[in-house]
Chains A and B, each alone.
Chain A
Amino acid sequence: MTGRLEIGVDIGGTFTDVVMREPGKDIKFFKLPTTRKDPSEAVVAALKHIQSTWGLQPNDLVKFAHGTTIATNAVLERKGAAIGIITTKGFRDILEIGRQSRRQMYDVVLEPQPPVFLAPRRFRQEVSERVAPSGEVLTKLDESALRHAVDKLVKEGVQSIAIVFLFAFANPAHERRAKQLISEWYPDLAISISSEVDPHFREYERTVATAFDAYVKPTVAKYLENLERSLKEEGVGAPLQVMQSRGGLTVSEVARMRPIRLFLSGPAGGVVGGKIAGTSANAENIITIDIGGTSADIALISKRKPLIRPEGIIGDYAVRVAMVDVNTIGSGGGSIARVEGGSLRVGPHSAGSEPGPACYGRGGKQATVCDASVLLGYLDPDYFAGGSLKLNPALAHEAVQKDVAQPLGISLERAALGIHRVLNAQMAEGIRAVSVRQGVDQREFSLMPLGGAGGLHATALATELKMTKVVIPRIPGVLAAAGLLAAPIEHEVSAAFSQPLAQLSVDAVNQALAQLDEAASKLMQAERVQRAEVTVTYYADVCFIGQSYALEINFDPRTPGLAERLYEDFLIAHDRIYGHAVRVPAKLVALRAIHQAAGSDTIEEMKVPPTSAPIELGTRKIWVSGFDQPVEARVLNREALPVGFKFSGPALVQQSDTTTLVEPGWNGVVDDAANVILTKG
């Protein structure tokens, strides 16, 4: 057999998902428990599984794409490297002072707001050097002071160093020289410099990005090196590719140099997965909502492109690095319902998975959304998580009765429905907020529920948000791993470029772009792709003069009248996102080149054929909003539904890892790509 096999491995907190594609054949997929201590063990186990189950050999692999939470976990668990920060003399406290504002308006007993844990004051050193806003060197880099500072940090035990000099985005010479010197003095130290990590103005934001890069660099490097070695030992010849936060892949050697770009590695695979499933269902505008136990993740895909945000949130901290716009809200299946001051509250506290909802029977006593779902008849107690966990309706009954029905003086079923209605209202507001921020109208989008609990809320949310179409992918449980197979290889390089549009020099723009292209091409060289396969797109960050935040405008540098075109496109974008645009002067603040290769809009092989199991699983009495009595719902076996199969709500569509509630008034059909499409009619 010649190598045609592609594999996507997404390592999440609980499961490692594996999707395997061989062109022309149905994709294969399976889940393994994640090995927390060394996640690469699960990867090796997956390779063994492939060999023993399908007789496929590691050397058949031509692609090995990986989504990982390693960078995020290092931050959340505070397990990154001990780092030191070296700054321009006079500015070592930029990290700790931050922007001086607080997140919780009414708090009076305060906590530090910036990520000071990255480098407390004793780990921050200063050296004499100074660059002016124009890039002119005012004070030369004091190399002996640098040596002194680094020696001190090394003595304190740092493994990684972040260098952030003022105006390094305008002239990176001092940062580059410092990096070169340090790597000569201490070859084992990891080094991150701000002019490479985040070459843009605002020193605090650049410091945070650079410090986070330094913080996760040794951890990420060790992990990826281990994984590369394991793969080699198992006989895999294909290069290890890693998903980056913007939704593009890169080869592991490059990923290790730019770890700041891996924070959303896992979720980015999910968003690309949502895109390919949506494309297969002829839906190019998609809102995905992935509802888990403690939270729900919302992401938007517009015209087949995942929407990107210029700054993400890692833990509690804003980090200026572009990533897919995945928004987490604190509502999920485990959200606790209780009565406070005569009002029903749902969340933000969650029962999590331990002890979990009352119906899990693991000692949880408080009523949760999941308990309500059992009482309303949405969940089959004997077929939860594919039958791996038996739910106890009596415990759900007890908890909802005690915590909600009794205090409010209403029936058990009304209480359970109430819990769902409140949760749905919260999630609908969450979806609306993301749509408003991105300047899109959610009614023009299709809703794609994901995660264990997404399907239970899909039609209710769509109704609330006036969305008329819901897409249930064939393999929602492993969509993130499938997304890894469809994602392009991508490199993004940007640089500050400050010029008023009215005085734009097209030559200067082209010179700057040539430099960006050179840097991106260098990164692409490691990817084993042909130059002809690479497509290049350019973006300019534009803002009104005097405005603080810029919008990213796509452009073609060969356009005649470039400045006018950029200005008009900027006005249109400003109007779309902010609701108005005044014709006053604007300026360009940064340029960005994105080089992409390979990647596909959809994966044909995702159309997994139906099993031969029975389609009908009987009926169940369920309670739904708007009806005083329970209604009789048809229960369907998702895995057995053939293409073209039609049905109407009320119905429950069950599959091993999730159940979809189809409320009365919604109709379902299985489309040609095996997605279930629900429409209101």
Chain B
Amino acid sequence: MQQRDGGLDPITLEVVRNKLDGIANEMQQTLLRSSFSPIVKEGLDASASLFTVEGETLAQACAIPVHLGTLIPVVAKILELFPVAKMKAGDAFIMNEPYQGGTHLPDIAIVTPIVAKDGRVVAISAAMTHHQDMGGMSPGSVPTNAVEIFQEGLRIPPLRFRENGEYNETLVSLIRQNVRIPNTVMGDLNAQLAACNVGARRVGELVDALGHNLVGAIFENLLEKSEQLTRAALRSIPEGTYSYVDYNDNDGIELDKRIKFQVAVTIKDGNFHVDFTGSSPQVRGPFNAVPSGALAAACFAIRAVTDPNIPTNAGCFRPISLELPVGSIVNPVEPAPVNARTATIKRMAGCILGALRPAVPERVPADSSGEMLAIMFGGLRQSGESFVVGELVAGGSGAGLTSDGVDVIETDVSNCMNLPVEAMEMEAPIRVHQVALRSGSGGAGKQRGGLGIVKEYEVLEGEVRFTHRGERHMCAASGSNGGEAGAMAISQIFRTNGQTEEIPSKMMAVLQKGDRVVVTTAGGGGNGPANLRDPRLQEADVKDEKISPTARP
């Protein structure tokens, strides 16, 4: 690297690219390892990445797409309010405000400048973590029954969090006062700073070795290369406008009203235009997604349908443009509540992929359940100790052209782990009686859709506050190319007095000792006509009791 002539050497370019990937991974490692709360460690719900001074993603670790997409508008907002020219080493900025570029209140972003020896800012480090609590009307700050954002927790607009390496004590004190678990929140914020510092140190070294101008040129070149490759891949998709419609069950408030997602994706001349016109108006409940959500869904989809070997950076996302009607479920107006937006972003991603399926049938499977059932039990033990335990439960994935869907797996923009039965029972007076594949729930087809799950819980000590936030209870995952839809989700409460209550997708209920809850998640759609299924696969499915629910011995 010593004797460069100032021109862009393709070797140095690739060396720098490898380093940037390594740096982003090291930031991510630091973030996950040093974070405190279980939601980060079990749910991997934290992401770090590097940005250019123009606010474009330079390198990102393999973290959850819903964060990486949403960091883009956050960094843009910070750069708008705190110009790069005035940033100094030791600065750090913070925000979680959805209506200024954030996503929902528990997701707090920390953004820091990367400053070279000469004092100039050469790049930006950013880290986003889902915090365990941000105050508001319910522990965990994701209240299903919120009807305005003020109920959801502390809103932090773009603010300076550190200056010269010193905390903004006023702000720290305000945050600590407003959250239920201040030590944990501060511990996780420290982890975010630690991750940003890794980026600052290592990119700083890179700039010291190569010089400011060369590094800037390399960054731009890397983005251009990814942009060119992405556009080339898009050009290999037949041009046209592709449409799709799918639904979510309801907003948890108006239970009989389905939420419509209508998308038109236009592939033209290497561009990727996503138009959600025709989608439902914003809803009263917390399922609205601010525009960062649609961007995250589009970023995921464009990566999924182009060549996975293209280095992931902002260049991949430059072809994207979005049309998001104001006042709709995908672009709500303040103060609409937004905490449960994951279900909405997941469905948006599913719709974009569904639209593109006819254009790239080998890349896009039939619809996945695309549901992340969130359930939570909370109450007091007889000893007086309080408990809250929650888990996220997946359904089946859609079948590909040549492969069956996968049973019970996280898809698209989220990727959370489930909670072990043994962890749940140690933490709360709940007994789990069953964790099983849901026979017969995969959509039939030449390739079968993945199965959902059956889980059965019994309350051992009453009373327990129970929250259930499902999807696919009222609208199944469609099959494709003649394949059939997967089974819909069903959840029920079995009371000790013999009564059964059906859970209408979203519910908050009080459970008593002895009450049982059985949740089943949806199956994925099948692909291709069922009569073309390989008899050997069919036979294996029967033997494994995956297709005949009554065949249990």
Q: Do A108 and B363 touch (CB < 8 A)? A: yes
| A201 vs B183: C-alpha distance when bound (angstroms) | 27
Instruction: Determine the residue in chain B with the shortest Cβ distance to A578.
Output: B34
Which of chain A's residues have a CB closer than 8 A to the CB of B415? Answer: 101-102, 105
Beyond A580-B194, A582-B36, whether A108 also contacts B304 by CB under 8 A is yes
The smallest C-beta distance from A287 to any residue of chain B, in angstroms, reads 16
Instruction: Determine the residue in chain A with the shortest Cβ distance to B396.
Output: A110
The smallest C-beta distance from A412 to any residue of chain B, in angstroms, reads 13
B65 close to chain A: CB less than 8 A: yes
Q: Do A100 and B408 touch (CB < 8 A)? A: yes
B51 close to chain A: CB less than 8 A: no
Q: Which 8 A-B pairs have the closest CB atoms?
A: A429-B22, A418-B11, A121-B544, A109-B400, A90-B434, A578-B34, A425-B18, A99-B417
Q: Do A121 and B437 touch (CB < 8 A)? A: yes
Q: Do A100 and B36 touch (CB < 8 A)? A: no
| A577 vs B543: C-alpha distance when bound (angstroms) | 48
- Using a CB–CB cutoff of 8 Å, the interface residues on chain A facing chain B are 90-94, 96-102, 104-113, 120-122, 132-133, 166-167, 201-204, 339-346, 408, 410, 414, 417-418, 421-422, 425-426, 428-429, 432-433, 436-437, 498, 544, 546-549, 577-580, 582, 584, 625-626, 628
Which of chain A's residues have a CB closer than 8 A to the CB of B21? Answer: 429
Q: Do A121 and B546 touch (CB < 8 A)? A: yes
Q: Do B420 and A97 touch (CB < 8 A)? A: no
Q: Do A91 and B437 touch (CB < 8 A)? A: no
| A132 vs B11: C-alpha distance when bound (angstroms) | 60
Instruction: Determine the residue in chain B with the shortest Cβ distance to A105.
Output: B62
| A408 vs B12: C-alpha distance when bound (angstroms) | 12
Instruction: Determine the residue in chain A with the shortest Cβ distance to B424.
Output: A133
Q: Do B416 and A121 touch (CB < 8 A)? A: no
Beyond A110-B406, A121-B546, A425-B18: 9 further Cβ-contacts under 8 Å?
A96-B437, A110-B397, A167-B422, A341-B232, A341-B310, A410-B11, A422-B18, A429-B21, A432-B22
| A237 vs B22: C-alpha distance when bound (angstroms) | 52
Q: Do B34 and A579 touch (CB < 8 A)? A: yes
| A30 vs B162: C-alpha distance when bound (angstroms) | 62
B484 close to chain A: CB less than 8 A: no
Which of chain B's residues have a CB closer than 8 A to the CB of A107? Answer: 304, 308
B: contact size bracket: 35 or more
The smallest C-beta distance from A590 to any residue of chain B, in angstroms, reads 13
Q: Do A97 and B408 touch (CB < 8 A)? A: yes
Which of chain A's residues have a CB closer than 8 A to the CB of B41? Answer: 547-549
Q: How many A-B residue pairs have CB under 8 A?
A: 211
Q: Return the contact of B422 from the options A113, A201, A426, A582 (Cβ within 8 A).
A: A201
| A258 vs B16: C-alpha distance when bound (angstroms) | 46
Q: Return the contact of A112 from the options B10, B62, B406, B453 (Cβ within 8 A).
A: B406
B386 close to chain A: CB less than 8 A: no
| A167 vs B65: C-alpha distance when bound (angstroms) | 35
Q: Do A580 and B190 touch (CB < 8 A)? A: yes
Beyond A93-B437, A106-B300, whether A120 also contacts B544 by CB under 8 A is yes
Which of chain B's residues have a CB closer than 8 A to the CB of A167? Answer: 422, 425
Q: Do B422 and A202 touch (CB < 8 A)? A: yes
Which of chain B's residues have a CB closer than 8 A to the CB of A578? Answer: 33-34, 191
B151 close to chain A: CB less than 8 A: no
Beyond A97-B453, A341-B225, A433-B22, whether A203 also contacts B14 by CB under 8 A is no
The smallest C-beta distance from B4 to any residue of chain A, in angstroms, reads 11
Which of chain A's residues have a CB closer than 8 A to the CB of B422? Answer: 133, 166-167, 201-203
Which of chain A's residues have a CB closer than 8 A to the CB of B531? Answer: none
Q: Return the contact of B435 from the options A94, A111, A112, A408 (Cβ within 8 A).
A: A94
B89 close to chain A: CB less than 8 A: no
| A429 vs B540: C-alpha distance when bound (angstroms) | 44
The smallest C-beta distance from B26 to any residue of chain A, in angstroms, reads 5
Beyond A97-B437, A106-B303, A167-B422, whether A112 also contacts B407 by CB under 8 A is yes
B228 close to chain A: CB less than 8 A: yes
| A101 vs B391: C-alpha distance when bound (angstroms) | 13
Beyond A110-B406, A112-B407, A580-B187, whether A203 also contacts B421 by CB under 8 A is yes
Among A104, A108, A425, the most chain B Cβ lie within 10 Å of the Cβ of: A108
B246 close to chain A: CB less than 8 A: no
Instruction: Determine the residue in chain A with the shortest Cβ distance to B308.
Output: A106
Q: Return the contact of A418 from the options B10, B17, B19, B456 (Cβ within 8 A).
A: B10
Which of chain B's residues have a CB closer than 8 A to the CB of A628? Answer: 3
Instruction: Determine the residue in chain A with the shortest Cβ distance to B435.
Output: A91
Q: Return the contact of B187 from the options A344, A422, A582 (Cβ within 8 A).
A: A582
Q: Do A408 and B10 touch (CB < 8 A)? A: yes
Which of chain A's residues have a CB closer than 8 A to the CB of B423? Answer: 201-202
Per-residue CB proximity of B418-440 to A under 8 Å, as 1/0? 10111101100000111111000
Q: Return the contact of A122 from the options B1, B400, B544 (Cβ within 8 A).
A: B544
Instruction: Determine the residue in chain B with the shortest Cβ distance to A584.
Output: B183
| Pairs across A and B, CB under 8 Å, 13 listed | A97-B407, A98-B408, A108-B365, A120-B544, A203-B422, A341-B232, A343-B14, A433-B29, A544-B36, A547-B38, A580-B34, A626-B1, A626-B2
B154 close to chain A: CB less than 8 A: no
Which of chain A's residues have a CB closer than 8 A to the CB of B434? Answer: 90-91
The smallest C-beta distance from B13 to any residue of chain A, in angstroms, reads 6
The smallest C-beta distance from A667 to any residue of chain B, in angstroms, reads 20
Q: Return the contact of A425 from the options B19, B184, B425 (Cβ within 8 A).
A: B19
Which of chain A's residues have a CB closer than 8 A to the CB of B310? Answer: 341
B319 close to chain A: CB less than 8 A: no
B229 close to chain A: CB less than 8 A: yes
| A487 vs B1: C-alpha distance when bound (angstroms) | 43
Q: Do B420 and A202 touch (CB < 8 A)? A: yes
Among B36, B308, B353, the most chain A Cβ lie within 10 Å of the Cβ of: B36
B545 close to chain A: CB less than 8 A: yes
Q: Do A92 and B436 touch (CB < 8 A)? A: yes
Q: Do B410 and A340 touch (CB < 8 A)? A: no
| A429 vs B19: C-alpha distance when bound (angstroms) | 7
The smallest C-beta distance from B394 to any residue of chain A, in angstroms, reads 5
Q: Do A579 and B397 touch (CB < 8 A)? A: no
Which of chain A's residues have a CB closer than 8 A to the CB of B11? Answer: 344, 410, 414, 417-418, 421-422
B106 close to chain A: CB less than 8 A: no
| A547 vs B1: C-alpha distance when bound (angstroms) | 44
Q: Do A113 and B409 touch (CB < 8 A)? A: yes
